[in-house]
Structure 1
Amino acid sequence: MGNQKWKKYWQVLTSNNIGLFGLILLMIFLLIAILAPFLAPFDPTDRVGAPFTKPNSQFLLGTNDVGQDILSELLYGTRISLLIGVIAAFISILLGCLVGIVSGYYGGKVDALLMRLVDLVLVIPFLPLMILLAAFIGPSFWNIVLVISLISWASPARVIRSQVLTLKTKGYVEAAKSIGTNISVVLSRHILPGVIPIALSQFVLAASHSILIEASLSFLGLGDPFTKSWGTILYYAQARGAFLTDAWIWWVLPPGLLITTLVIGFAFTGYSLEEILNPRLRKER
């Protein structure tokens, strides 16, 4: 029965033009990330040309200020940006599910305490909190993932809690609880199956937000300077005079367009999943 439900979700998602377009974009970026070593014409850390070389037949997107091939940087940067977005989204959704399930299922003082914590995280201005945490923890791959996770779990937690509050009033859940079924069994058999689809749609949206946050932090100089993400490419471009020359056309514009396109792919897929999982959002066909 569960397989039939997921098969139906997949059929509805792929029949939705927006969702299908989002999935295609995500698959393209995933292939680029996997095949980056084969697609990149040069090692992104090697100096292969003169600084600020304009795009030509050898360097399709030109070179940066030290002569590194920008196309190769972008292809390898797909791996880092996509990896940070997915890992950070997974951790934030995991934390959100834990808080949301515990809060919604137990209620009472536990619910009040956890929801006040969620409110506190949500009410703090996002940008100052993000910059403060990143500056305090320090720049590295895993520190950036930690910062993004710490500021992104609260919103999914609220959504998951709402779903749990709805599920625990269902007759089959009440019946299981009334006969003394172990809490772990109730959660695993009756609550989690109803939470996972919502968590999946939240994960897709969280991944798009995580990619934007990583790019923002890296652009501000708070990312890992030793990794080739799209955000660090933008940081070095603005720090080394790309905006003062014509180099911004091939050094700044491509990573900006890639970030936008990948976020659109995640956003379209996430919104389509929400429409599938929430009948009130579906349009009559």
Structure 2
Amino acid sequence: MTTENTGVRKTAGDDTAAAGKPPSVRPRALAWQRRRASAARFWRTYRTHRAGVFGLAVLALFALPALAAPLLTGSDAADVTDAPGAPLESPSAEFPFGTDRFGRNLLALVIRGARVSLLVGLLAAVLSVAIGTLIGVTAGHFRGWYATVMMRITDWFLVMPTLVLAIALATVMSRSLLTVVVAIGVTTWPTTARLVRAQTLAVETRPYIERARALGGGHWHVMTRHVLPNVMPLVLAQTTLIISSAILAEATLAFLGLGDPTVVSWGGLLQDAREAGAVSAGHWGYLVPPGIAIAVVALAFTLCGRTVESVLNPRLGVSR
């Protein structure tokens, strides 16, 4: 009897090992393993798109000098009291982009301005997408009068000029980077809200949502465990697309004199060039570098966003 029982136990152990499902694997570890595999698949598909890889390389080309700006330009690059050159010098070996109206090195200012422009663009895009996702998911889940009210508010924001609303907010609030972030974030969320609501309505019709509700899942459980993970790919693609718009909006507000005057940004450099009469004086080194930087970075984020959209939704058929 002992020998037979031992043999049975060995056979059961062999069957368990052959099944390839060790009992020690935890659900959380399995979830992280699946996420890593999904991220690897995403990157393998992403790098086959030449436009997306080009956009990523351009962003790295701007982001790395921006992160290392204090080391590359020094801590006093923006100081107007101890400028290294004469005002409005032409480009030279010492000053590749020339100098501004205070005699500061324009190349150093463009590098430092990248930190502010990229930071404001990222924060404003995150705020915009967070508001849009919250309204879109809740409006798609609860429906009824709540969805009607939220969608009418969204429609109102959609028909109003975004730049006009941002200028109005930036005018009545104090002039700071936080004001610019809030002004851009609270005026650019309606598109995300409508897209997320449409995706939420599609997800809510799937059978596993009905099973979750039948098993006692509440509103919070359904929205956070089932709906939100399914709309996150759309949210990620929308974030990368909104960043470019946010950078352009920040540059516009700074150019109009509504930004923080104590920090250096690309839009602020364009405003300084306008006030210094760089166009009439023919000092193009004052205007061209920050303007090209804004256009190139906005284009790079757009390329990355379109590629992310194509990878997450292959039916779009974006060219490689």
TM-score bin (small chain): over 0.9
What is the distance in 2 between the residues matched to 1:174 and 1:3?
29
Instruction: State the Cα deviation string for residues 220-258 of structure 1 (Å, max 9, x = none).
Output: 1111111100000000110111111121x1000000000
Matched letter for residue 44 of structure 1? A
Instruction: State the Cα deviation string for residues 152-183 of structure 1 (Å, max 9, x = none).
Output: 11111111111111111111111111222132
What is the distance in 2 between the residues matched to 1:217 and 1:162?
32
- Which of 19, 22, 29 is matched with 2:52 structurally? 19
Segments of 4+ moved more than 4 angstroms: none
- Find the counterpart in structure 2 of residue 4 from structure 1: 37
CA shift, 1:124, in A, is 0.9
**1:235 is the counterpart of 2:235:** no
Give the stretch that moved more between structures: 191-200 or 126-135.
Answer: 126-135
CA shift, 1:73, in A, is 0.5
Give the stretch that moved more between structures: 125-134 or 94-103.
Answer: 125-134
Aligned residues: 284
What is the distance in 2 between the residues matched to 1:80 and 1:211?
10
Which runs of no fewer than 5 residues in structure 2 stay unpaired? 1-33
- Find the counterpart in structure 2 of residue 268 from structure 1: 303
- Which of 43, 65, 69 is matched with 2:77 structurally? 43
CA contact (8 A) 2:120 2:181 kept: yes
Percent identity of the aligned residues? 37
Matched letter for residue 246 of structure 2? S
CA shift, 1:283, in A, is 5.9
Pick closer, same or farther for the CA change 1:141–1:284 going to 2, 3 Å: closer
What is the distance in 1 between the residues matched to 2:210 and 2:57?
42
SS in 2 for 1:252: helix
CA shift, 1:282, in A, is 2.4
Which runs of no fewer than 5 residues in structure 1 stay unpaired? none
Pick closer, same or farther for the CA change 1:199–1:139 going to 2, 3 Å: same
Pick closer, same or farther for the CA change 1:61–1:284 going to 2, 3 Å: closer
CA shift, 1:12, in A, is 1.1
- Find the counterpart in structure 2 of residue 146 from structure 1: 182
SS in 1 for 2:231: helix
Q: TM-score, normalised by structure 2?
A: 0.85
What is the distance in 1 between the residues matched to 2:160 and 2:243?
21
CA shift, 1:28, in A, is 1.6
SS in 2 for 1:152: coil
Matched letter for residue 76 of structure 1? R
Q: TM-score, normalised by structure 1?
A: 0.95
Matches within 5 A, 1:83-94: 83-94=119-130
**1:253 is the counterpart of 2:296:** no
Q: Considering only CA atoms, is the larger Rg found in Structure 1 or Structure 2?
A: 2
**1:209 is the counterpart of 2:245:** yes
- Find the counterpart in structure 2 of residue 118 from structure 1: 154
CA shift, 1:7, in A, is 2.0
Instruction: State the Cα deviation string for residues 197-220 of structure 1 (Å, max 9, x = none).
Output: 111111111111100000001111
CA shift, 1:268, in A, is 0.1
